[in-house]
A and B are shown apart, each in its own frame.
Chain A
Amino acid sequence: MSEYFSNIKTATTTIATGLSITFRHFLNAVKRKGDAGIDDADYFKQVDGLCTLQYPREAVPTPALGRYRLYNNIDDCIGCMQCERACPVECITIETIKATADDLAACGKTSGGQQKRMWVPVFDIDVAKCMTCGICMSVCPTDCLVHSPVADFSEFDVRNMLYHYGNLSKIEAEAKRKKLDEEKAAKEKAAAEAAARGEAPAAKPAPKPKPAPAAKPEEGVAGE
């Protein structure tokens, strides 16, 4: 019988405690929960208050060194293709066209002052594939490929996840390619004429097979 009454007592007191807790939260719903981070001293003191973030309008800022959507600043890109080779999931596709001698000025320089020697008509990043490992970012010699703080870039169509950063349109690229071919043809023609005249351009093609450093095989392996 005493258990019967103690049960009733426990039920009454626990219900009263619970009701007071929910009512305190109800009254505190007029204010927002503070935004002290985990490293603030009073983090555990901010118990009451609304904690909903109305997402598209309010968002927790992404961390300063966070890796999110890849961004390529194509004006600084020299088309070295190191990122394409470094990418473990092959999400970067690059096509380059060598700039002809008279186009070097038009091709421009990077913000670091380096002369660009390549047109980059195709620089596609499939962010759906990208696993944000950051290797491409670390190998980039001009620091033009970066992980931006943009974290929300969902799309209804997966094809829209392919981001194009190329700096030439298709027609322009075709024109540049043609120009390069013409320059090459002219050079070959000149070389052929020189050879016909009996001069010695053989010094140039000679290093092509590159068997010369065979004396140092370790270096050769490392070079591979």
Chain B
Amino acid sequence: MSQSLSLNTWSEALSGFHLGWFPLGLVIVAAVPLVFIALYALTYGVYGERKISAFMQDRLGPMEVGKWGILQTLADILKLLQKEDIVPTAADKFLFVIGPLVMFVGSFLAFAVLPFGPAFIGADLNVGLFYAVGIVALEVVGILASGWGSNNKWALYGAVRSVAQIVSYEIPASIALLCGAMMAGSLSMQQFCVLQSGPGGFLHFYLFTNPIAWLAFLIYFIASLAETNRAPFDIPEAESELVAGFFTEYTGMKFAMFFLAEYGSMFMVSAILSIVFLGGWASPLPNFGTVALNDWTSGPVWGAFWIIIKGFFFIFVQMWLRWTLPRLRVDQLMYLCWKVLTPFAFIAFVLTAVWEIYK
């Protein structure tokens, strides 16, 4: 492909870098998303969410540790590290320990196909989108393992609800993403971004080129809330009903692992949403004659900036929804996913197909 000549230059250069027999470059490529998840979960994920929720409820949020409470998350991490790592006697030890790991790995593996700008991607798979949707679903195995392995009624109910949830949201989510795949004619994450970049900025985004795309966009956004167990679909956690749901029995770093996995997948679904419908790392600013805003704001570094900003925007919307809507009941979620989202996803699918043929 002609465009892919300049693609992935950084990650390919890195992956060719060996220190003796040791593929140091590959390790760095894998470490970049990991460091990103940790940093973002620390700052925007925990501190940002606490502040945003506080402001929406007319509170101040953390204010005591450091100026405006900036160091609050660090203090929390120090506390988590010192906590005793308890494995309940009656728990299934193997499942209990493996649960948070599977969940985090499932969330982290999806970052392999996430392009941090045009020059950096972990693995430019030609089935990237399919891989991402599939691997994020691995989280449910971790939830089920930890919920069942805890040998606790709350945890088990959380796990059971999570499994009931996945069969509901995966179908509309996948069909909504298929609309995007049809528009691009590809499943490669880089290809999505390349096809949506251009001198017109946001005018090339699928959300604005296709009159039906907003429906698929909305359906995937709603389903992605269910996928990341965020309110109003946080029924596997449901702190007011199930204590903490599937991670009721967890302490210390295992507990922190669940949090990292949750924030990782929050960013992942936001990034998928922005890649498929909003151009990923493509700059939204259009060129105005000689004022070439789009050209000025494109490039490897700007690409990373845009995809992170777009991801953060959708995370903000997720938080905004969380502090606005009450939690749905299990049957209400089933109703929403099966009877509302799925038929509308099919309608969006058919209309997108028609649009793609006759446009």
Chain A residues at the B interface, C-beta cutoff of 8 Å: 4, 8, 15, 18-19, 21-23, 25-26, 28-29, 33, 48-52, 54
CB distance from A46 to the nearest CB of B (A): 11
8 A Cβ contacts from B331-359 to A: 339-340
Bin the interface of chain B by size. Answer: 10 to 19
B31 within 8 A of A: no
B residues near A29, Cβ cutoff 8 Å:
54-56, 58
| Other-chain contact of B56, A4, A22, A33 (Cβ < 8 Å) | A22
Say whether B340 contacts A25, CB under 8 Å: no
Say whether A50 contacts B59, CB under 8 Å: yes
Say whether A19 contacts B55, CB under 8 Å: no
| Other-chain contact of B321, A19, A49, A52 (Cβ < 8 Å) | A19
Say whether B58 contacts A33, CB under 8 Å: yes
Q: A8-B340, A26-B52, A54-B63 are in contact. Are A48 and B324 (CB under 8 A)?
A: no
CB distance from B212 to the nearest CB of A (A): 17
Q: A18-B325, A54-B63 are in contact. Are A25 and B58 (CB under 8 A)?
A: yes
Most chain A CB inside 10 Å of its own CB: which residue of B54, B324, B325: B324
B residues near A33, Cβ cutoff 8 Å:
58
Most chain A CB inside 10 Å of its own CB: which residue of B57, B58, B324: B58
CB distance from A103 to the nearest CB of B (A): 54
- Give the nearest-CB partner of A54 in chain B: B63
| Other-chain contact of B55, A8, A15, A21, A25 (Cβ < 8 Å) | A25
A residues near B54, Cβ cutoff 8 Å:
29
B323 within 8 A of A: yes
B320 within 8 A of A: yes
A-B contact pairs, 24 of them (CB 8 A): A8-B340, A15-B325, A18-B324, A19-B320, A19-B321, A19-B324, A21-B324, A22-B320, A22-B324, A25-B56, A25-B57, A25-B58, A28-B58, A29-B55, A29-B56, A29-B58, A33-B58, A50-B55, A50-B60, A52-B58, A52-B59, A52-B60, A54-B60, A54-B63
Cα A52 to Cα B323 in complex, Å, equals: 18
CB distance from B26 to the nearest CB of A (A): 42
B residues near A50, Cβ cutoff 8 Å:
55, 58-60
8 A Cβ contacts from B35-93 to A: 52, 54-60, 63
- Give the nearest-CB partner of B339 in chain A: A4
Cα A50 to Cα B58 in complex, Å, equals: 4
A residues near B60, Cβ cutoff 8 Å:
50, 52, 54
- Give the nearest-CB partner of B321 in chain A: A19
Say whether A48 contacts B63, CB under 8 Å: no
CB distance from A171 to the nearest CB of B (A): 46
- Give the nearest-CB partner of B340 in chain A: A8
Cα A29 to Cα B56 in complex, Å, equals: 7
CB distance from B43 to the nearest CB of A (A): 18
Cα A33 to Cα B60 in complex, Å, equals: 12
Cα A54 to Cα B55 in complex, Å, equals: 15
A residues near B323, Cβ cutoff 8 Å:
22
Cα A26 to Cα B322 in complex, Å, equals: 13
Say whether B63 contacts A26, CB under 8 Å: no
| Other-chain contact of A23, B59, B63, B320, B325 (Cβ < 8 Å) | B320
CB distance from A6 to the nearest CB of B (A): 13
A residues near B58, Cβ cutoff 8 Å:
25, 28-29, 33, 48-52
Cα A137 to Cα B20 in complex, Å, equals: 87
- Give the nearest-CB partner of A29 in chain B: B55
- Give the nearest-CB partner of A14 in chain B: B325
Q: Which 3 A-B pairs have the closest CB atoms?
A: A29-B55, A52-B60, A18-B324
A residues near B324, Cβ cutoff 8 Å:
15, 18-19, 21-22
Cα A157 to Cα B241 in complex, Å, equals: 38
Cα A156 to Cα B206 in complex, Å, equals: 64
Cα A8 to Cα B219 in complex, Å, equals: 13
CB distance from B17 to the nearest CB of A (A): 45
A residues near B320, Cβ cutoff 8 Å:
19, 22-23, 26
Cα A54 to Cα B64 in complex, Å, equals: 9
CB distance from A42 to the nearest CB of B (A): 17
